[in-house]
Amino acid sequence: MAGGPGNATGRAKKRVAILISGRGSNMRVLIEAAAAPDYPAEIVGVLSNKPTAEGLEFAAAAGIPTAVHMLRDYPDKEAADDAIDAVLRGWNADLVCLAGFMRILSPGLVGRWQGRILNIHPSLLPLHKGLHTHEQALAAGVAEHGCTVHFVTPGMDEGPAILQAKVPVLSGDTPETLAARVLIAEHATYPRALAMVASGDVTYPASAEPPPHHTPSS
Ligand code: GRF
């Protein structure tokens, strides 16, 4: 149920939970964007699967409820994901943003939230799925790289894209320099993509096919 206070347009803000595993820099830009009165979403909770995730401290300092759920505390992944689901429902979340959440959610949980879970991936999907995307881009010799915000479906990094942003690959780039350039693009892109979904401008399956701002280079 959408229960947040209204924004400047008079519509209730969508209640958003963020799932993290570490640094949480994308979480931070979402929290900062959502502080604007006219942003169509509010962040109602941050859940981590790691108690040491640095992002938890930032969220708590911002007055946002936090929770830690570790897979190893449950008999199996289904039980762990049922517990995550209960937390999300307890926060009355309308939408869930994965932001560096380094664990694959079970098809059951994804199915229950399908169309309401977003993820950010550091590549121009469908290129470079999975881990080590910057190494993959350099090895492939592409001229452009970037990030994608997409709806989460059971297939890894496969859901419909909502928004992409490109960055150039420069000669002499290392995975680290490229990652830093992509991260700046991520921080600009995730708040915009969440606003598009929260305001209802993009619905699942994404109306954007091929995704905006991405012209395939081949
Ligand atoms: C980002 O590059 C994101 O695209 C990927 O994991 C990284 C998380 O970074 N899924 P942060 O925790 O948001 O700083």
Domain of 70, CATH number, reads 3.40.50.170
Rounded to whole angstroms, the Cα distance separating 149 from 174 reads: 23
Q: Is 22 in the pocket of ligand 1 (CB under 6 A)?
A: yes
Both 105 and 180 in one domain: the answer is no
For ligand 1, atom 7, which residue shows the shortest CA distance?
100
Q: Is residue 42 part of a domain?
A: yes
Identify the domain containing residue 5 by its residue range: 1-113
Atom of ligand 1 at shortest range from CA of 24: 12
Which residue has tokens 């990094």? 157
On whether both 94 and 138 belong to a single domain, the answer is: no
Considering the domain architecture, whether residues 53 and 130 belong to the same structural domain is answered as no
User: Is 157 close to ligand 1, i.e. is its CB under 6 Å away?
Assistant: no
Q: Are residues 94 and 136 in the same domain?
A: no
Q: Are residues 137 and 88 in the same domain?
A: no
**Calpha distance 158→11 (Å, rounded):** 31
Ligand 1 centroid–CA 68 distance in Å is 18
From 120, 132, 145, give the residue whose CB has the most ligand 1 atoms within 8 Å, as the site to mutate: 120
69 is catalytic: no
In a domain, 10, yes or no: yes
Nearest ligand 1 atom to the CA of 186 is: 4
Both 101 and 2 in a single domain? yes
| Exposed/middle/buried for residue 164 (C-beta within 10 Å: 0-12, 13-18, 19+) | buried
- Amino acid, res. 135: E
Pairing of strands 95-98, 66-68: unpaired
Same domain, 125 and 85: no
6: helix, coil or strand?
strand
Are 107 and 132 in a shared domain?
A: no
Residue 5 is predicted with a pLDDT of 60
Question: 92 and 180 share a domain?
Answer: no
**Count of structural domains within the chain:** 2
Residue 154 resides in a domain: no
| 157 inside domain | no
Compute the distance between CA of residue 157 and CA of residue 126 in angstroms, rounded to an integer.
8
Contact indicator for 92, 64 with CB cutoff of 8 Å? no
User: 25 and 125: one domain?
Assistant: no
- Asked if the structure places residue 44 within a domain, the reply is yes
Does 62 fall in a domain?
A: yes
Within the chain, strands assigned E span 14-20, 41-48, 66-68, 95-98, 117-121, 144-151, 161-168
Question: pLDDT value at position 207?
Answer: 52
| Ligand 1 pocket check for 122: Cβ under 6 Å | yes
Distance separating alpha carbons of residues 123 and 29, to the nearest angstrom: 19
* Contact 123 CB / ligand 1 (< 6 Å): no
Count other Cβ atoms within 10 Å, centred on residue 46.
29
Rounded to the nearest angstrom, the distance between the alpha carbon of 89 and the centre of ligand 1 is: 24
From 121, 134, 145, 214, the catalytic residue: 121
**Tokens 């859901």, located at residue:** 159
Residues 52 and 82 in one domain: yes
In a domain, residue 153? The reply is no
Q: Helix or strand or coil: residue 109?
A: helix
Question: Are residue 143 and residue 91 in the same domain, yes or no?
Answer: no
Other beta carbons within 10 Å of 171: 4
The reported pLDDT for the residue numbered 8 is 57
Structure tokens, 217? 């280079």
Each residue's pLDDT expressed in tens, for the chain with a length of 218 residues: 444 566 656 689 999 999 999 999 999 999 999 999 999 999 999 999 999 999 999 999 999 999 999 999 999 999 999 999 999 999 999 999 999 999 999 999 999 999 999 999 999 999 999 999 999 999 999 999 999 999 999 999 999 999 999 999 999 999 999 999 999 999 999 999 999 999 999 999 855 444 455 443 33
